[in-house]
Structure 1
């Protein structure tokens, strides 16, 4: 008997798949046939739960995803994947694509999938260009790019200790260094030992 195999994915561990899972369950996917990858980029070729979902697919089954970007990033890879499923006798169903479901088992669904895969890749490339442009503009302007906090040197800690010994409040000195008071005290103790 044909089954619906569901797949959900988020790129970071902080993100939640709750909404995707709820949509897949409403679409008729059984909880036992739901595969979820947490903290796995769509650009990666190997995704553990995605690979398990594909192993579970047999002829007549349909892989169900909520949005096209859960499948991958490149139009070429998505189309090759859809062809592979078709060759295996399995289908692909994308929920929330253009206001409705798209099922690649039908000619119209296959055509829509091809168009939407190309649009998804274009959207990804536009976002990437915007991020690169934003980073270069922030770098040129000398602005903070975020990321890991700057490393505070031992010399900076020694100077800060002198300020505290001279009467400056430790909390203010620590704040000026960009660290918590507890971290300042810990680093100070490590230098005086």
Structure 2
């Protein structure tokens, strides 16, 4: 579970199971919390309960927060983990801003196309445009375009869609 969430049921379960003399093992320090202050408070809670802490990406060594040296090492590492997270956020924000400025795709849910847009694409194909190019211009695969053409509702005049010359798509009657 992410260290960025305030409520972490699995961590709460693990904490409830810990007893004096146990060691809590985590993969990376940033999984424990997102701020130095948060991680130091967590370490103090572990120390007060007599529980050790082991961070695997630090070479598997125990960070004994009960000793002054271990506490200092943990504090420095917690600060570094917070700094790393903040640098990562800056990079992501910068990358999104650059992609947005360049008009590039930001990911997310793909746009949906109206039946009217699909009919216009069909007219282009019937007019001799390659289906692959029409689909690419719309930002979809040729197979998706053909599927959407087949799914077009029957025109309101009650005239059924006829089978196209290629046999791969249905065509609407010409107006």
Q: TM-score range by the shorter chain?
A: 0.7 to 0.9
Which consecutive residues of structure 2, in runs of 5 or more, have no partner in the other structure?
155-175
Please name the residue that 2:58 is paired with: 97
Moved more, 43-52 or 125-134: 43-52
RMSD between superposed Cα atoms in Å? 2.1
**Which structure has the larger Rg?**
2
1:43 aligns with 2:4: yes
Moved more, 88-97 or 106-115: 88-97
After TM superposition, the structure 1 = structure 2 runs for residues 1-193 of structure 1, keeping only pairs within 5 Å, are 40-97=1-58, 100-193=61-154
Report the 3-state secondary structure (helix = DSSP H, G, I; strand = E; otherwise coil) of the residue aligned with 1:109.
helix
> Which has more strand, going by share of residues?
1
CA distance in 2, matches of 1:153, 1:73: 43
Answer whether contact 1:92 1:105 (CA < 8 A) is retained: no
Answer whether contact 1:61 1:90 (CA < 8 A) is retained: yes
Report the 3-state secondary structure (helix = DSSP H, G, I; strand = E; otherwise coil) of the residue aligned with 2:87.
helix
**Equivalenced residues, count:** 154
1:176 positional shift: 2.9
The 3 A distance-change label for structure 1 pair 186 and 156 is same
TM-score by length of 1: 0.70
